[in-house]
Amino acid sequence: MKVVIIGGVAGGASTAARLRRLDEKAQVVMFERGNEISYANCGIPYHIGGVIKERDQLVVIGEEDFAKLFNTEVRTNSEVLEIDRAKKKVRVRDLKKNVEYDESYDKLVLSPGGYPIRLPIPGIDDPRIFTIRNLDDMDRIKQDLADRRPKKALIVGAGFIGLEIAENLHHLGLMVSVVELAGQVMNLLDFEMAAAIHQQLKTKKIELYLSDAVKEFSASQGLEAVLQSGRRIKADLVILSIGVKPEIHLAKEAGLEIGLLGGIKVNSKLQTSDPEIYALGDATEIKDSVCNCPALIPLANSANKQGRIVADNICGGDSKYDSTPGTAIAKVFDLTVAITGASEKKLKKMGLPYAKVYLQPSSHAGYYPGAFPMLVKLLYDPNGGRALGAQIIGSDGVDKRIDVIAAMVQMKKNVYDLARLELAYAPPFGSAKDPVNLAGMIAINQINGRNPSVYWDEVPGLKKGGAFFLDVRTRLEYDLGHVEGAVNIPMGEIRSRLNDIPRDRKVVTCCNQGKTAYFALSVLRQHGFDNVFNLAGGYKLYKITTLEQENVGIFEGTFIGKNDELRQAPASGGRFFQIDASGLQCPGPIMKLANSLADKLDGDIIEITATDPGLKNDITSWCAATGNVLISVADADRKVVARLQKGTKRVLPAGGEIPHDKTIIVFSSHLDRAIAAFVIANGAASMGRKVTMFFTFWGLNILRRHERVTTKKDLFEKMFGSMMPRGSLRLQLSQLNFFGLGPKLIRFIMRRKKIDSLENFISSAVQSNVKLVACQMTMDMMGIKREELIDGVEVSGVAAYLGAAENADTNLFI
């Protein structure tokens, strides 16, 4: 038997090696267009970045050794030009000698791979623009880096390979910009998961442009990419990484059937429409194990396994390649990003029923050093619980969790199976309930109706619909950030403050990750609240979706800083302390820091190390709000290390800019003063300033709804409430009130002069994102309930106002 193989890398070389093991007598001829065979193209980004030092390390086995070991005729620099199925032969060109000849076959194997897509746009042929498919491409890029020493690189396309290249060029010291057509990186993932990657890219100072595309390259003033938005990005080097297409021209011209998605069609034995011809790898269309639909999955693990199956079948076996969940994993700086099975957007597109859970467990027991947080999203079928897919992002332990879930997805197991899996556990490696078990358990709770959930993308609609957001975290956690308008009742106080929670509104409990909120939800349901939902994934997940996702224009000024940002030199003196907050999830590190500061003196320097990257954001706002001086925040070995000096010194934001925010304390409930306060607030907002209005004591009346709201109040609260004006329409003037005539007169004059009413001023303020904060303490004192206030008001403690005041250059008391 003579077997001819086209393509000598992942699929082709695997087929040849297995063939020889099965049949010592078969004649095997392997054609490869390139210079080398059997190399690891997956390692290419890391050799470019110098992480894999030696080029030879990428070559699994050289041509001569392969030929000897597997008794195979390896012909490199040989391109197959045509297949003659009738005569069972292929036409080959020897690219070195430039001669053509025919080679007959009994069985033919196609493993020609996929080619990187090039954009048909002006300027694309500039020699500074590269694609990456093989070692030759890699060599060209490495040579260019050595010869021209480019300083700035542009990556077009933020898929797995694009981001690997971005990281490696950054590692070499280049400034790296990434442009992506979609509104997120790694489009295989769902948006909220990609949002975590956006934040990581931002902290690494990768310039990130989303929802934009290159429409041409211009070389008039150095190489420049012109984007659809009109933005121009200068770059010394461009890598196109916008996806691969199956290489099918040989198959197509030979009349082999091509699938719906443009890959070579194969059956489960990997035979093409001609049973004498097999095909595998990136060139083929295979079956998606979740959606049962055709899929193009250009992954090395599939190609390698398929090689074994093809060889088995050629040698008379009956091996099947059933389907794939498309499990993929990549390293993006300090993060590991992995996916298996279907994403939510794919399930939606296919119209398949699904439910989802989020969890944020640690990579191993939090009490053992070095635990890193991870974000897990599990998708399952609500009818029966079949596991449909998962996405995991974290720094450690992501690979083993995704692999366990991948196995379950592929074997069509369900969430009950996930919950009962017995997995290896000792503190350095995992937790007694592994994240995989927990994902199953949370899904089961959801199926049983014990944990009805709402999701991050529903929050704006829920707020509009009047839902009551109940934040059950501690006051400190709440002060570090919360869903706008959420009311803070810490978990420990819920049972004694049930009267503060409305029974006639939808209640959404939220905490950091969804766990404490689930406990609160259970308490509320057992006290008769029947319209309660948990914000799945908690504030942490919600927050990453609401942050700025791009990192636009960071290289336009002089900003070229990489990891370490020195904010302020410490004042002299002071003792030095270190705190290890590894394993704690945000805001755990901040809380540990806050507690430890209690016995420190002003001027002492504290260094905190945490494994949760969220510390990077939290510590900046926390220091600004508390008057401690942030000295530096840096990444070190996947950890965040921050240094601060205890004190009361004002910290300027990064870049040293003087703050321009405005804060107004509204104490009065007089109409004229309220108008003045809102005129100033709207004016400042229109100048692009952040404005916070803190309503306390009588000022709270301005925010009351005009209509009567039934709430539970005791006698004193009722009396007090009835004596105060209910809402802006009932406010009196501070002077010339004339038994109520004054306010009417002033409103009449305002109408005549075409000046907006106070009510319009208030709604303009809300629309301009002026933050209206009602003082929690005075509300409690005066018996004003949350539901009596107009929409768009946040109920907070004085810390919210003080935090805003830290960043303000104007602070008015009205």
Q: How distant is the alpha carbon of residue 501 from its chain centre?
A: 33
| 161 belongs to the binding site for ligand FAD (CB under 6 A) | yes
**Residue holding tokens 């390259």?**
217
| 58 belongs to the binding site for ligand FAD (CB under 6 A) | no
Cα 22 to Cα 29, 106, 280, 315, 375, distances in angstroms: 16, 16, 19, 7, 44
Half-sphere exposure of 663 (CA within 13 A, CB side): 18
| 298 belongs to the binding site for ligand FAD (CB under 6 A) | yes
| 41 belongs to the binding site for ligand FAD (CB under 6 A) | yes
For ligand FAD, give the closer residue by CB, 31 or 801. Answer: 31
The DSSP letter of residue 174 is: -
Q: Which two three-digit tokens encode residue 784?
A: 């004003």
Judged by CB under 6 A, the number of residues near ligand FAD is 33
Q: Which of 16, 20, 29, 32 binds ligand FAD (CB under 6 A)?
A: 32
Catalytic residue among 42, 291, 293, 315: 42
| 312 belongs to the binding site for ligand FAD (CB under 6 A) | no
The residue whose Cβ lies closest to ligand FAD is: 281
Per-residue string for binding with ligand FAD, 116-155, x by CB under 6 A?
----------------xxx---------------------
42 is catalytic: yes
Contacts with 173 (C-beta within 8 Å, 6 or more apart), sequence order = none
For ligand FAD, give the closer residue by CB, 168 or 512. Answer: 168
For ligand FAD, give the closer residue by CB, 239 or 671. Answer: 239
For ligand FAD, give the closer residue by CB, 247 or 550. Answer: 247
Q: How distant is the alpha carbon of residue 147 from its chain centre?
A: 36
Distance from the first to the final alpha carbon of the chain: 94
For ligand FAD, give the closer residue by CB, 282 or 618. Answer: 282
Q: Which of 49, 112, 326, 727 binds ligand FAD (CB under 6 A)?
A: 112
Half-sphere exposure of 39 (CA within 13 A, CB side): 23
SS3 254: coil
SS3 591: helix
Q: CA nearest 560: which of 184, 177, 292, 254?
A: 177
Q: Which of 282, 285, 479, 612 binds ligand FAD (CB under 6 A)?
A: 282
| 285 belongs to the binding site for ligand FAD (CB under 6 A) | no
For ligand FAD, give the closer residue by CB, 134 or 551. Answer: 134
Q: Can the peptide bond before residue 613 be classed as cis, meaning omega within 30 degrees of 0?
A: no
Residue 83's beta-bridge partner residues?
90
Taking the C-alpha atoms of residue 432 and residue 455, their distance in angstroms, rounded to an integer, is: 28
For ligand FAD, give the closer residue by CB, 392 or 610. Answer: 392
| 337 belongs to the binding site for ligand FAD (CB under 6 A) | no
Q: Which of 3, 4, 5, 7 binds ligand FAD (CB under 6 A)?
A: 7
Q: What are phi and psi of 240, to 5 degrees?
A: -90, 125
Strand order in the sheet with 214-218: 214-218, 224-227, 232-234
Pick the stretch among 7-15, 721-729, 744-752, 768-776 that binds ligand FAD (CB under 6 A).
Answer: 7-15
**Residue holding tokens 């004059």?**
749
Taking the C-alpha atoms of residue 810 and residue 659, their distance in angstroms, rounded to an integer, is: 9
| 533 belongs to the binding site for ligand FAD (CB under 6 A) | no
For ligand FAD, give the closer residue by CB, 161 or 392. Answer: 161
Alpha helix locations (H) across 300-397?
300-314, 344-350
| 33 belongs to the binding site for ligand FAD (CB under 6 A) | yes
| 45 belongs to the binding site for ligand FAD (CB under 6 A) | yes
Per-residue string for binding with ligand FAD, 194-233, x by CB under 6 A?
----------------------------------------
User: Minimum Å distance from CB 225 to ligand FAD?
Assistant: 21
The DSSP letter of residue 756 is: P
| 6 belongs to the binding site for ligand FAD (CB under 6 A) | yes
Q: Which residues bind ligand FAD (CB under 6 A)?
A: 6-7, 9-12, 31-34, 41-42, 44-45, 79-80, 111-113, 132-134, 161, 247, 250, 281-283, 298-301, 303
Q: What are the residue numbers of the active site?
A: 42
